[in-house]
């Protein structure tokens, strides 16, 4: 039966690629194993049987449809039957296919498939339509079809892809999406028509499958491909309402994981734990439905809506019918992490919450630190952690968010809480420390006093900060914007410079999420802190004085010699009872190092009428100078003052034979120790612990400024 007869018979055939003319005389000759000249002779009527006439011409070259050539083989060249793809029906208008049965097959350790066996009505070998979970890309789908075909005795295996197409014949309605499918025939040996041509030949859609089976083939959209539901399907089954899933993960995974915790509520919530779980599961269902295009107007280019069409019948719809977003209170999400979890379900419960944004909305990414990290701030943070010995507390979901599911068999694993952080879970092994903590840092108080940037070539750098109350915090990953790695010219140093600037006056603040690069008229704005982080490799330690010095424009600071300290008669302006604005740092680049005392805030003419800010600054500078004078071999101290409208700085230059034994970089610790006696009224000579502390610093404790 020829081309016109087939088109007139079947709307199924009209929508396939088989009837689009694109094969050249060279392609046809290759398929039939003859020379192109032989095809021209067939067209001249020299053959023993009528040869199909070309259906079109392009650039003066004849073109045939694949259907016309396959029909010629089926009717006149039986020795070449293996060159006809299995999805091309062997007879005209075959009757509807017969469903034979189904099974679930484990393909590899990550993927399973529900196999539907069909017997096409053309009387040739059965085929398998294999629904793989998780749903797959084109390359993966082709590999899966080949693997299944190698293990099942059928004529062809068809795997629906996570891809759509609008390709097809003249009978395809405009703008209608249909799934692409990967196909592996077990008894086809068609010769290659050329690399790029073979790609077209082997490109199939659902329409070719429907044309062979001539019935409504069930389709499960991504997100509704529940293998149990697919395996249970039979012809005539009603459309099923399915909970949306990603592979084998769904909201039911979280519900099952937390089922052991609903009997008791270990953490207060706004609604009670059971209700919080239900709200979280509804949010997961909604987000999977939106992401997989299961609701009107959702899905976008990745998962566009695929409607019912000839030969394709949606077999499932989502339980979510409302397009309004579902939100969960942060307090409820955090409460779930304090609930005990069933280990056998926790892995999938944690994963589904992660991929749907439930945890990332309130939790930092998992942080990993080298256990032997030498930094002083890290050691102070580590020393305050308290062990968790209760087995029940070790099995709360917060701990199971860590890679601890893989650490259960590690005999060195120890569990800790941070007594200063309500939502922080820590597991320590013999080599690393794993931290899951809240994305924000509301427990911190006041201004940033010191930062310590650790180095790990295999992990994101751990960044520890000290607040105004002397408490040390591990900074969470406030956003998922990208790396904070320093020591190279990239986005990392720029993000970190912006982050430290945002936290400078309030460690508990929420940092901005602006892009890392800022240009004005094509030129990046000057930023000494950014440049320092680009040129300096971790580990790095910076005091508040260091940060402010780097954030100020050095050219805008004019220094004026005021004279020596109180030993030479210098009078400090009116003392203030409170000194909230000053802090002490160290200029390690000078020889000998200079101690810096700085303050933020507006001030009047520094050489004329000092304001209160200036008075506070000088009171603090004088007290610090007195402490320095109690160290041996310091004869007197020169005081230099400079600044601008938003910043003042006093440099205390020790004069004499004094030379520090510690490295200049390590002396940043000296500056902080000098500051503390100022605030509590003690002198250095009264604080022997300070002198002892100085000797323990080494070159590796801090980076070089």
Q: Any idea which of 215-229, 333-347, 537-551, 680-694 has the lowest mean pLDDT?
A: 680-694
**Same domain? 481 vs 621:** no
Q: What is the pLDDT of residue 372?
A: 82
Question: What CATH number should be reported for the domain holding residue 592?
Answer: 3.30.428.10
Q: Is residue 38 part of a domain?
A: yes
Predicted confidence at residue 587, as pLDDT, reads 57
| Residue 168: band (very low, low, confident or very high) from pLDDT cuts 50, 70, 90 | low
Taking residues 374-402, report their average pLDDT: 90
Q: How far is CA 549 from the centre of its chain?
A: 35
Tally the C-alpha atoms within 13 A of residue 543's C-alpha that lie toward its C-beta: 25
pLDDT band at 696 (very low <50, low <70, confident <90, very high): very low
Please report the pLDDT score of residue 638 as a whole number: 75
Q: What is the distance between the alpha carbons of residues 345 and 340, in angstroms, rounded to a whole number?
A: 12
pLDDT at residue 404, rounded to an integer: 53
- Confirm whether 641 is domain-assigned: yes
For 320-360, what is each residue's pLDDT tens digit?
Answer: 987 788 889 999 999 999 999 988 888 899 999 999 999 99
Q: Do 522 and 374 share a structural domain?
A: yes
Give the model's pLDDT for residue 692: 39
Residues 469, 366: one domain?
yes
Instruction: Please tell me which residue, 587 or 439, carries the higher pLDDT value.
Output: 439
Q: Of 4-8, 284-288, 442-446, which gets the smallest average pLDDT?
A: 4-8
Q: Is the pLDDT of residue 235 over 90?
A: yes
* pTM exceeds 0.85: no
Residues 381 and 441 in one domain: yes
Q: Are strands 240-242 and 316-318 parallel, antiparallel or unpaired?
A: parallel
- Residue 35's pLDDT is what? 94
Least confident of 172-181, 333-342, 429-438: 172-181
pLDDT interval class at 301 (50, 70, 90): low
Tell me, yes or no, whether 401 and 485 share the same domain.
Answer: yes
Lowest mean pLDDT among 214-228, 473-487, 541-555, 658-672: 658-672
Banded model confidence at residue 171, pLDDT cuts 50, 70, 90: low
56: in domain: yes
Give the pLDDT score at 172: 64
Residue 704 lies in a domain: no
> Across residues 547-557, what is the average pLDDT?
62
In this structure, are residues 225 and 131 in contact, taking their beta carbons and an 8 Å threshold?
yes
pLDDT in tens, 238-273: 999 989 998 888 999 999 999 875 544 445 444 588
Write down the pLDDT at residue 427: 93
Three state DSSP letters for 63-77: EEEHHHHHHHHHHHC
Return the higher-pLDDT residue of 98 and 140: 98
* Cβ(641)–Cβ(649) below 8 Å: yes
The verdict on 654 and 520 lying in the same domain is: no
Cβ count within 10 A of residue 124: 19
Tokens 């209760």 found at? 390
**pLDDT above 90 for 466:** yes
Mean pLDDT over 312-321 rounds to: 92
Residue whose C-alpha is closest to residue 415's, from 443, 441, 438, 436: 436
Residue 212 tokens, joined: 């062979």
What burial letters (b/e) apply to 358-390, b meaning 16+ CB within 10 Å? bbbebbbbbbbbbeebebbbbeebbeebeebee
Which range, of 11-15, 388-392, 529-533, 700-704, averages the lowest pLDDT?
700-704
More confident residue, 590 or 274: 274
Residue 74 lies in a domain: yes
User: Is position 658 within any domain?
Assistant: yes
- Counting Cα atoms < 13 Å in the Cβ hemisphere of 64 gives 24
CB atoms within 10 A of CB 439: 19
Domain termination site, one of 498, 518, 552: 552
Instruction: Please indicate, yes or no, whether residues 592 and 474 belong to a single structural domain of this protein.
Output: no
Instruction: From 406, 408, 402, select the one nearest 364 (Cα to Cα).
Output: 402
Out of 11-20, 207-216, 631-640, pick the least confident. 631-640
Both tokens of 383, joined, read: 């020393």
**Per-residue confidence (pLDDT) for residue 518, from 0 to 100:** 78
pLDDT bucket at 592, cuts 50 / 70 / 90: low
Mean pLDDT value across the chain:
79
**CA of 614: how far to CAs of 430, 579, 607, 649, 679, in Å?**
51, 11, 11, 10, 17
- Show the DSSP H helices in 94-236 as ranges: 138-151, 195-201, 206-213, 227-232
More confident residue, 466 or 262: 466
Find the range with the poorest average confidence among 45-54, 126-135, 662-671. Answer: 662-671
Phi, psi of 481 (to 5 degrees): -65, -30
- pLDDT above 90 (res 681): no
| Residues 477 and 587 both lie in one domain | no
pLDDT band at 517 (very low <50, low <70, confident <90, very high): confident
Say if residue 428 is in the same domain as residue 539: yes
Instruction: Tell me if 585 is assigned to some domain.
Output: yes
**The token pair that represents 179 in the structure block:** 């799934």
505, 522, 552 - which closes a domain: 552
Examine the domain organization and report whether 623 and 523 are in the same domain.
no
Looking at per-residue pLDDT, the higher value among 604 and 359 belongs to 359
Peptide bond into 592 cis (omega under 30): yes
Question: What total of structural domains would you count in the chain?
Answer: 3
Range of the domain at 413: 362-552
276-280, 431-435, 505-509, 606-610: which range is least confident on average?
A: 606-610
pLDDT digits (tens, 9 = 90+) for 14-23: 999 899 898 9
pLDDT in tens, 408-425: 667 788 999 999 999 999
Percent of the chain with pLDDT over 70: 75
479 inside domain? yes
Same domain? 506 vs 582:
no
Instruction: Give pLDDT, residue 434.
Output: 93
Task: Kindly state the greatest CA–CA separation across the chain.
Answer: 124
Which of 54, 83, 112 represents a domain boundary (last residue)?
A: 83
Say if residue 478 is in the same domain as residue 398.
yes
């Amino acid at each position: 039966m020829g081309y016109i007869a087939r088109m007139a018979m079947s709307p199924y055939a009209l929508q396939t690629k088989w009837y689009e003319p694109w094969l050249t005389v060279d392609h046809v000759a290759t398929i039939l194993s003859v020379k192109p000249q032989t095809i021209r002779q067939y067209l001249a009527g020299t053959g023993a049987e009528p040869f199909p006439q070309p259906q079109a011409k392009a650039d003066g070259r004849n073109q045939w449809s694949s259907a016309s050539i396959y029909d010629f083989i089926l009717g006149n060249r039986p020795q070449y039957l293996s060159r006809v793809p299995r999805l091309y029906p062997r007879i005209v208008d075959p009757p509807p296919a017969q469903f034979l049965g189904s099974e679930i097959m484990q393909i590899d350790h990550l993927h399973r498939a529900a196999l539907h066996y069909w017997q096409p009505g053309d009387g040739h070998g059965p085929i398998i339509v294999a629904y793989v979970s998780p749903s797959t890309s084109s390359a993966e789908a082709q590999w899966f079809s080949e693997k299944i075909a190698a293990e099942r005795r059928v004529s062809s295996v068809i795997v629906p892809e996570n891809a759509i197409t609008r390709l097809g014949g003249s009978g395809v309605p405009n703008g209608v999406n249909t799934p692409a499918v990967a196909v592996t025939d077990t008894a086809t040996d068609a010769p290659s028509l050329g690399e790029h041509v073979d790609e077209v030949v082997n490109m199939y859609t659902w329409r070719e499958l429907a044309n062979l089976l001539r019935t409504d083939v069930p389709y499960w959209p991504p997100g509704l491909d529940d293998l149990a539901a697919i395996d249970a399907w039979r012809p005539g089954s009603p459309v099923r309402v399915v909970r949306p899933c990603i592979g084998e993960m769904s909201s039911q995974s979280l519900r099952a994981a937390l089922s052991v915790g609903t009997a008791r509520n270990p953490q207060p919530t706004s609604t009670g734990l059971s209700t919080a779980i239900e709200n979280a599961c509804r949010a997961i269902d909604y987000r999977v439905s939106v992401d997989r295009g299961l609701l009107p107007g959702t899905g976008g280019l990745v998962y566009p809506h695929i409607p019912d069409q000839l030969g394709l019948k949606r077999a499932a719809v989502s339980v979510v019918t409302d397009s309004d977003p579902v939100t969960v209170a942060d307090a409820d999400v955090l409460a779930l992490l304090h609930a005990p979890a069933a280990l056998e379900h926790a892995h999938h419960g944690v994963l589904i919450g992660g991929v749907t944004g439930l945890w990332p909305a309130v939790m930092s990414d998992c942080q990993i630190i080298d256990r032997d990290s030498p930094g002083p701030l890290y050691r102070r943070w580590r020393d305050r952690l308290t062990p968790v010995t209760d087995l029940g507390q070790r099995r709360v979901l917060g701990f199971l968010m860590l890679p601890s599911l893989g650490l259960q068999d590690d005999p060195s694993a120890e569990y800790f809480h941070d007594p200063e952080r309500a939502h922080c879970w820590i597991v320590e092994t013999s080599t690393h420390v794993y931290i899951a903590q809240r994305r924000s840092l509301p427990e911190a108080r006041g201004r940033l006093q010191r930062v310590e940037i650790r180095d790990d070539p295999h992990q994101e750098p751990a960044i520890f900060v000290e607040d105004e109350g002397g408490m040390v915090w591990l900074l969470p990953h406030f956003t998922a914007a990208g790396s904070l790695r320093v020591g190279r010219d990239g986005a990392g140093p720029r993000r970190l410079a912006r982050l430290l600037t945002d936290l400078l006056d309030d460690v508990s603040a929420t940092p901005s999420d602006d892009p890392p690069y800022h240009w004005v008229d094509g030129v990046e704005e000057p930023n000494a802190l950014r440049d320092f982080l680009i040129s300096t490799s971790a580990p790095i330690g910076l005091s508040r004085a260091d940060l402010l010095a780097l954030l100020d424009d050095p050219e805008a600071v004019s220094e004026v010699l005021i004279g020596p300290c109180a030993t030479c008669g210098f009078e400090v302006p009116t003392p203030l009872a409170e000194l909230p604005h000053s802090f002490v740092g160290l200029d390690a680049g000078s020889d000998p190092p200079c101690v810096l005392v700085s303050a933020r805030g507006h001030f009047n003419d520094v050489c004329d009428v000092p304001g209160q800010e200036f008075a506070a600054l000088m009171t603090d500078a004088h007290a610090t100078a007195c402490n320095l004078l109690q160290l041996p071999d310091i004869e007197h101290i020169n005081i230099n003052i400079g600044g601008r409208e938003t910043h003042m700085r006093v440099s205390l230059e020790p004069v004499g034979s004094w030379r520090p034994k510690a490295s200049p970089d390590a002396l940043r610790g000296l500056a902080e120790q000098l500051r503390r006696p100022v605030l509590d009224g003690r002198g250095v000579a009264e604080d022997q612990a300070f002198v002892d502390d100085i000797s323990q610093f080494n070159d590796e404790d801090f980076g070089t400024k």
